[in-house]
Amino acid sequence: MSQGKAFIFAAPSGSGKTTIVKRLLDNNPNLGFSISASTRDKRGRTEEDGKDYYFLSKEEFKQKIDEDDFIEWEEVYEGNFYGTLKSEIQRIWDSGNHVIFDVDVKGALNLKKYFGDSALAVFVKVPSIEILKERLKDRGTESEESLSRRLYKAEFEMTFEDKFDVTLLNGDLEESFEKAQNLVDDFLKS
């Protein structure tokens, strides 16, 4: 089995990691996006099965757990499971690319443990909880209850920053893109 390198981007919701990962994918044809499996509902009309996530029922997800099909999985929010399928990583490596992940903090730490020195784990951080709150509000997808839950979880997730290889402070998006590209370039040379 051929194995490439892995780039793991994690952050609390609203930190900008998905935007950064999308830009890296646009600018680096040698990176393949690891599509996570999830039991959560699609957001609006924009998300597609097999592109944004592999949307599975809870029963399908639990069957894949039983069949040891996941590298890692987690119940991120109550009733919403997320995981990384082994077959997804193999698909990317078989195409000759390196894999890039956009995952939650706990999933990222599990992936780093699994891939070891073949992976670069990047913690994307916002300058403050207040900025994070504004970004989440600006999405227009959060109720007061879900916003409160996400902020509580974000504060907890921030305590794991020191477990990552590097922190990327996302204050200015263009600067963050440049720093993220440099991290990818440097890790591919190592």
Q: What is the pLDDT of residues 129-182, one digit of tens each?
A: 777 777 777 776 777 787 777 777 878 888 899 999 999 988 888 999 999 999
Provide the whole-model pTM: 0.84
Region for 68 from its dihedrals, namely left if φ exceeds 0, alpha if ψ lies in -120 to 50, beta otherwise: left
Q: What is the pLDDT of residues 14-42, one digit of tens each?
A: 788 889 999 999 999 999 999 999 998 88
* 89/132 Cα distance (integer angstroms): 31
Q: In this model, does residue 126 exceed pLDDT 80?
A: yes
Contact 15, 173 (CB under 8 A): no
Angle between helices 173-189 and 17-27 (to 10 degrees): 60
Mean pLDDT of 62-81: 90
Q: In this model, does residue 121 exceed pLDDT 60?
A: yes
* 179/169 Cα distance (integer angstroms): 9
* H or E element, residue 159: none
Q: Which of 154, 168, 173 is nearest to 12 (CA)?
A: 154
Higher pLDDT, 143 or 65: 65
* H or E element, residue 32: strand 31-33
How buried is residue 17: exposed, middle or buried, by Cβ count under 10 Å (0-12/13-18/19+)? buried
Q: 147 vs 18, 75, 124, 132, 163, CA distance in Å?
A: 18, 18, 19, 10, 25
Distance between terminal CA atoms of the chain? 21
Both tokens assigned to 115: 């891939």
To the nearest whole number, what is the mean pLDDT of the chain?
89
What single-letter DSSP state applies at residue 43? Answer: P
Mean pLDDT of 113-138: 85
Query: By percentage, how much of the chain surpasses pLDDT 70?
Result: 98
What single-letter DSSP state applies at residue 120? Answer: E
- CB-side neighbour CA atoms (13 Å) of 153: 18
Task: Return contacts of 77-81, CB within 8 angstroms, 24+ apart.
Answer: 77/40, 77/149, 79/39, 80/38, 80/39, 80/40, 81/37, 81/38, 81/39
